[in-house]
Amino acid sequence: MSRFHKGDIAKTQLQTAVFMFLEGRDRSSVITLAGAASGILDTLVRRSGQEAFLDYAPRVYRDLGGQMPKRSAYLHHINTRLGVIAHKHLWEEDSDTIELDLEQKAADVLCRAIADYITLNGQEEHL
């Protein structure tokens, strides 16, 4: 049995997702790995007292004239829009198929995860 810091797990997931994306490999795996890394990084950023992507983005939306959505609702919205939920779940009422622009969704999920990674570790940290 070994002990691992969740930040190290997220970094490894994110590194693997970036390499796969840059090599043109399986976009569904990129989405899954980057989505998992985001889940960990979001919490680590918040625990560090900094603003995570999922706190920043709805605030921008509010400042542009919308209403500030609840964090849980916004999290679900973003994970749905980015295809993360479609890659993690299949509920009884769901269709067996889904239409996604895998290339765009993979890039978007990576950007979300990288934003929190940079907030947590700084621009100079080598990923």
- The predicted-structure confidence for 4-49, as pLDDT tens digits, reads as follows 999 999 999 999 999 999 999 999 999 999 999 999 999 999 999 9
Q: Residue 15: how many CB atoms within 10 A of its CB?
A: 15
**54 with 125: CB under 8 angstroms?**
no
* Arithmetic mean of pLDDT, 51-71: 83
Query: What confidence score (pLDDT) does residue 8 get?
Result: 96
- The predicted-structure confidence for 117-126, as pLDDT tens digits, reads as follows 999 999 988 8
**127 with 15: CB under 8 angstroms?**
yes
Of all residues in the chain, what percent are helix, strand and coil, respectively (each to 5)?
65, 0, 35
- The predicted-structure confidence for 76-106, as pLDDT tens digits, reads as follows 888 888 889 888 888 888 889 889 999 999 9
The SS3 assignment for 118 reads helix
Q: From CA 95, how far away is CA 97, in angstroms rounded?
A: 5
| The total number of residues written for the chain in this structure | 127
How far is CA 70 from each of CA 22, 57, 73, 115, rounded to the nearest angstrom? 34, 12, 5, 20
